[in-house]
Amino acid sequence: MRSPELDAKTSSRALSAEAGAKPDTAAAPAERRSRVSGMDRALQIIDHLYETGAPAGAYAIAKAVKAPLSTVYVIIDDLVEKNMLARSADGSIWLGSRLYHYGLAYARSLDFISVATHEMHDLCRVSGETVQLCGRDGDHMLVLAMADGPNHFQVASRVGTRVPLNWTASGRLLAGHLPERERMELFKRCARSSPTGRAEIDAATLSEAAGRAFQDRLSIQVAESDYAVACIASPIVDRDGHCAATISIVLPEQKVLSDESRYTEHVRASANRIETLMGWRNH
């Protein structure tokens, strides 16, 4: 039989345990809210640095995100320790190497054709003309994807078409990133006369034109592969500086002659957007 004294002690301990449990239970949501708030602050700091594109001091960051300086100091120290942020010798803060690796992983997860095809259709809608995505297949340019413009202008080169690199604006760009010696050897091997007889076949001339077009991020050809057909192309350059593909507007040659700048601006902007979405350009 239990003594009254033991029962009292047991009851006392039980009541104490129950009393102690209530503050813990009540504190849990507050702790969760605190963690969420801390995460929000961390994202505000990272977003601010990303949007401004330049390192900043803790005071400037705190002012920009409207957070207490003491709070920002604590979060920055934690993020620096985890390599999410980096602190320079003068104390300024910038994005850390860990974010770079996350970015690379995200870029690898993106489907290039999916991203580029979406932009291809947008460019078709904006320009009102046929748009193509092209890549290199050995000594040939290959049409990877195509969006037909709303007018009745017909383009002979459909998806899957392969033509010699020297016949098209895209073909020159696809070779433009190569060293001059490699470009020369490539064009000596693959240059062919086109059906219109207007395509350049001299390797030296082609090599120079390809290098210049790649640097200018623009290549234009008029009636070199098809009569009365022009093409305005821009390179899609990967993180290694290679022309991974091109995006181009295919249209009647008289439109290029009458309003070239309108189309060149659109096609360059589209190439830039694809590179940005793929993480191949600096923001």
Indicate if the pLDDT at residue 24 is higher than 70: no
Span 209-221, average pLDDT:
95
- Kindly state whether residue 44 falls inside one of the protein's structural domains: yes
Domain boundary among 68, 103, 138: 103
Residue 81 CB-half CA count within 13 A: 6
Span 38-66, average pLDDT:
92
- Kindly state whether residue 143 falls inside one of the protein's structural domains: yes
Averaged pLDDT score across all residues of the chain:
83
Q: If pLDDT is split at 50, 70 and 90, which confidence band does 211 have?
A: very high
Pick the residue with more confidence: 133 or 104? 133
127 & 97 share domain: no
Report the CATH number at residue 241.
3.30.450.40
Indicate if the pLDDT at residue 194 is higher than 90: no
Q: What is the CA radius of gyration of the chain?
A: 30
Span 134-142, average pLDDT:
91
Report the CATH number at residue 63.
1.10.10.10
Span 231-258, average pLDDT:
90
Domain boundary among 53, 86, 103: 103
11 & 122 share domain: no
Pick the residue with more confidence: 14 or 107? 107
Domain boundary among 103, 136, 153: 103
CA pair distance 99, 278, nearest whole angstrom: 16
Pick the residue with more confidence: 249 or 37? 249
80 & 144 share domain: no
Span 188-198, average pLDDT:
89
66 & 134 share domain: no
Q: What percent of the chain has pLDDT over 70?
A: 82
Q: If pLDDT is split at 50, 70 and 90, which confidence band does 27 have?
A: very low
Number of domains in the chain: 2
Q: If pLDDT is split at 50, 70 and 90, which confidence band does 83 have?
A: very high
Span 220-228, average pLDDT:
79
Contact in structure between 220 and 230 (CB atoms under 8 Å): yes
180 & 270 share domain: yes
pLDDT score recorded for residue 215: 95
pLDDT score recorded for residue 169: 93
84 & 124 share domain: no
119 & 97 share domain: no
Q: What amino acid is encoded at 54 in this protein?
A: A
pLDDT score recorded for residue 107: 63
pLDDT score recorded for residue 192: 92
Indicate if the pLDDT at residue 217 is higher than 60: yes
Pick the residue with more confidence: 104 or 187? 187
Q: If pLDDT is split at 50, 70 and 90, which confidence band does 267 have?
A: very high
Pick the residue with more confidence: 3 or 126? 126
Lowest mean pLDDT among 22-36, 99-113, 127-141, 193-207: 22-36
Q: What is the pTM of this model?
A: 0.61
pLDDT score recorded for residue 102: 84
Span 18-22, average pLDDT:
43
pLDDT score recorded for residue 110: 63
Range of the domain at 234: 110-277
Span 136-145, average pLDDT:
90
